[in-house]
Structure formats: structure tokens, C-alpha cells
């Protein structure tokens, strides 16, 4: 750190992204990217003609993209805010709905960005432990008076919280915003989007990084009441009005409109996930039930850190978190069938080698 860093910034605990080697020599199963390229319609939309317009600012209102998202989810454009990935949307939401007199609560084992944002904005956080089986019980949040953030499906576990429980949470305190982070919902989870027309205190956040193969395009969106979206726009226009570049606006709209490709990719990931879970269990792994494009698994024969490092030595990247409750688990992205077969082959060899 330099001597110029503010005391507030020096106290930050930044989010640590997964490893991103640029030489492409690894089988990357560590950052929950799609194993498939973007929709062919995306490649058509990002044309040479459009690239030639990069000297112009992008549309700050994100009109075309917002309209495409609204149409897909049977909402109005006033119910949509799009951003530079769902991380930016979450940052807007933390700034808009948390602060003095309004604390924020989320699980102890969940997306690490929540903690980073709480620190960045100086928020008072309440950490609510997952149950012993890593399930999230909404009962633990019912009496919390501030903003509640739930990743559903959760990361890194892949497990889901049932909608009836979330409905109870919304109804218990209509003056409390409930943010449901649905980054992985398209792989088998049940979305809260149908609840939006009933509850004005619900904000649903999704991303195009996973199920729509646009991790590098950085496109996310929030769905909510017109009033909540207006609040988010208030933050957006105080921070970065041109938050999505011209090409990502076009790519996002094209991706959201190609329903057939989207459904095919999601189905393929789910099928490969089922194969992977069965193969891991055959090797003796404990695998949590997942509705995401990853699985959370551990072996009783080798520690999580040992498996992570030895798989990396063999050219396979998975995600290991050195936290107390989950240090023996690995989060394994569902890649292509060929990639998962390579993972299982390597894991089997490592278990055979032992310590």
C-alpha cells in the first residue's frame, strides 16, 4: 500500500476472483463460465459496422437491452435496470438500500462479493450461518429489520431456498428490501421473478455471464418495481451513466432473444452435471445437491487443498476456499463433457496415489 491510501480504503478486504490464466493451457473449471460460445445471434449483432461506432458513447438508458430483458420476463422497461455485470448491479443495490439505520444480512457461506461491498460502503453487516447441512433456512432471517441478500441458488454450495420461504420473508416486513441474487437460477433453480408483481420490496438480480455465455461481455440486470429500479438508476447516474459499452448492449439483447440456444445450453449443462455428480459419487466424493452450473464436493481421502493443488499440477483448475467450514470442499464448474471426463480421470488417479 502507498502512503497516500486513505484509512477507509486500507480497511477494505477485496473480493478475490478465480484464477484467470491467459495462456489457455488449463482446463478451467474454477470460475463458472459457460463451456459454450455465445449465441450465433450475438456474433451477428456485434458486426464490423457496430465496432466502427465505438467512437460514440453508448446509450445511457440502455433502451434496446432493457426492452429485450423486459420482453423476456413479461415486464415493462421501467422494471429493468441493466449493468456492467451483476456485480455492478449488486453494488448499486447495496448503496441504494443499505446504509445508516439500515443494516444488511446474508449467509456466512455465500458469494464473497457481498462482504467486499459491505466493507466498501461502510455498512453494518449481520452474518447468518447456514445450517449444518449448508441449507439456508429463511426462518433465520424473518426478524432481521434491514436489507436481506440471498443468493439462490447459493454460491458456492449450489443449493436453493424454496420460494414459499422467500414469500414469507417478503410478507413479514414489507418495508424491508429483499435482494435475491439469481446468477445461477437458469440451471435448475426456481426463479422469484413471478413474485415481482406481488411484492414491491423484491429485487431480483441476474447475469448473462453463465447461462448466456457472456462472462466477458459483462452484462447483468435487476428486475423489480418501478420505484426500486428508479432508486438504482439514482445510484447509477451518480456513478457511471455510460455503464454498458455499445457492443455489450447489442450482445446482451441478442443473447436474451435467442431462447432456443439458451435452453439448449442450459439443458446440456444440466445433463453433464448429472453425469459428473454420479461419477464423483462413484469415486467416494460427497456432493451437495446443486441447481447451478457447478458442484460442491469433497473427498474423505484427500483434503480440499491437496486435491486443488494436485489437479492444478495436472492442468485442471477448480476453486478452493480456505475457510473453516468448507476448506475440504472444491467448487467445480461444469464444463464440456470432455472436460468433465478429464477431471474424473485425474481425480481417480490422485485418489489412487493417496497422500
Locate CATH 3.40.640.10 in the chain.
Answer: 40-258
Residue where the block lists cell 478452493 = 320
% helix, strand, coil for the chain, step of 5: 40, 15, 45
The C-alpha cell 439458451 sits at: 262
The SS3 of residue 201 is coil
Q: What is the pTM of this model?
A: 0.95
- C-alpha pair distances (Å), 75 with each of 78, 152, 251, 276: 8, 21, 20, 36
pLDDT per position as a tens digit, 239-295: 999 999 999 999 999 999 999 999 999 999 999 999 999 999 999 999 999 999 999
How many Å is the Cα radius of gyration of the chain? 20
- State which H helix or E strand residue 200 sits in: none
User: Which regions of the chain carry the CATH code 3.90.1150.10?
Assistant: 10-36+260-353
Which of 340, 334, 331, 329 is closest to 300 using CA atoms? Answer: 329
What per-residue confidence (pLDDT) applies to 332? 98
Give the span between the Cα atoms of 211 and 266, in whole angstroms: 6
Decide: 276 and 344 in contact? Cβ < 8 Å.
Answer: yes
Mean pLDDT of the chain: 95
Q: Regarding the domain delimited by 40-258, which CATH topology (the fold level of the hierarchy) does it fall under?
A: 3.40.640
Fold of 10-36+260-353: 3.90.1150
* Sheet (strand 104-107) strand order: 80-83, 220-224, 202-207, 178-181, 147-151, 104-107, 125-128
Predicted pLDDT of residue 354: 67
Q: Can you give 14-81 as a three-state secondary structure string?
A: CCCCCCCCCCCCCEECCCCCCCCCCCHHHHHHCCHHHHCCCCCCCCCCCHHHHHHHHHHCCCCHHHEE
Question: Quick check: helix, strand or coil at residue 151?
Answer: strand
Q: What is the pLDDT of residues 32-91, one digit of tens each?
A: 999 999 999 999 999 999 999 999 999 999 999 999 999 999 999 999 999 999 999 999
pLDDT digits (tens, 9 = 90+) for 10-23: 888 777 776 777 76
pLDDT digits (tens, 9 = 90+) for 115-148: 999 999 999 999 999 999 999 999 999 999 999 9
- CB under 8 Å to 83, separation ≥6 — which residues? 89, 92, 219, 220, 221, 222, 236, 243, 244
Amino acid at each position: 500500500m502507498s502512503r497516500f491510501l486513505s484509512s477507509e480504503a486500507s480497511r477494505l478486504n477485496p473480493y478475490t476472483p478465480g484464477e484467470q490464466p491467459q495462456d489457455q493451457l488449463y482446463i478451467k473449471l474454477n470460475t463458472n463460465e459457460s463451456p459454450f460460445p455465445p449465441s450465433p445471434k450475438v456474433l451477428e449483432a456485434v458486426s464490423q459496422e457496430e465496432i466502427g461506432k465505438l467512437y460514440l458513447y453508448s446509450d445511457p438508458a440502455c433502451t434496446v437491452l432493457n426492452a429485450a430483458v423486459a420482453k423476456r420476463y413479461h415486464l415493462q422497461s421501467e422494471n429493468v435496470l441493466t449493468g456492467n455485470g451483476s456485480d455492478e448491479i449488486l453494488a448499486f443495490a447495496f448503496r441504494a438500500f443499505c446504509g445508516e439505520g439500515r443494516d444488511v444480512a446474508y449467509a456466512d457461506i455465500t458469494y464473497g462479493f457481498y462482504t467486499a461491498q459491505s466493507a466498501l460502503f461502510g455498512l453494518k453487516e449481520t452474518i447468518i450461518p447456514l445450517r449444518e447441512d449448508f441449507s439456508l433456512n429463511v426462518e433465520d432471517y424473518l426478524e432481521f429489520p434491514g436489507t436481506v441478500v440471498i443468493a439462490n441458488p447459493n454460491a458456492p454450495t449450489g443449493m436453493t431456498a424454496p420460494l414459499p420461504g422467500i414469500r414469507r420473508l417478503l410478507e413479514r416486513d414489507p418495508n424491508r428490501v429483499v435482494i435475491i441474487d439469481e446468477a445461477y437460477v437458469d440451471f435448475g433453480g426456481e426463479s422469484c421473478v413471478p413474485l415481482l408483481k406481488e411484492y414491491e420490496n423484491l429485487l431480483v438480480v441476474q447475469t448473462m455471464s453463465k447461462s448466456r455465455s457472456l462472462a466477458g461481455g459483462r452484462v447483468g440486470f435487476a428486475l423489480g418495481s418501478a420505484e426500486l429500479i428508479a432508486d438504482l438508476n439514482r445510484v447509477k447516474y451518480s456513478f457511471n451513466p455510460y455503464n454498458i459499452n455499445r457492443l455489450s448492449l447489442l450482445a446482451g439483447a441478442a443473447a436474451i432473444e435467442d431462447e432456443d440456444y439458451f435452453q439448449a445450453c442450459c439443458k446440456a449443462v444440466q445433463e453433464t452435471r448429472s453425469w459428473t455428480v454420479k461419477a464423483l459419487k462413484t469415486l467416494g466424493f460427497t456432493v451437495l445437491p446443486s441447481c447451478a452450473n457447478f458442484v460442491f464436493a469433497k473427498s474423505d481421502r484427500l483434503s480440499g487443498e491437496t486435491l486443488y493443488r494436485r489437479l492444478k499440477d495436472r492442468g485442471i483448475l477448480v476453486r478452493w476456499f480456505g475457510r473453516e467450514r468448507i476448506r475440504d470442499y472444491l467448487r467445480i464448474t461444469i464444463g464440456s463433457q470432455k472436460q468433465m471426463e478429464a477431471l474424473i480421470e485425474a481425480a481417480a488417479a490422485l485418489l489412487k496415489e493417496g497422500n
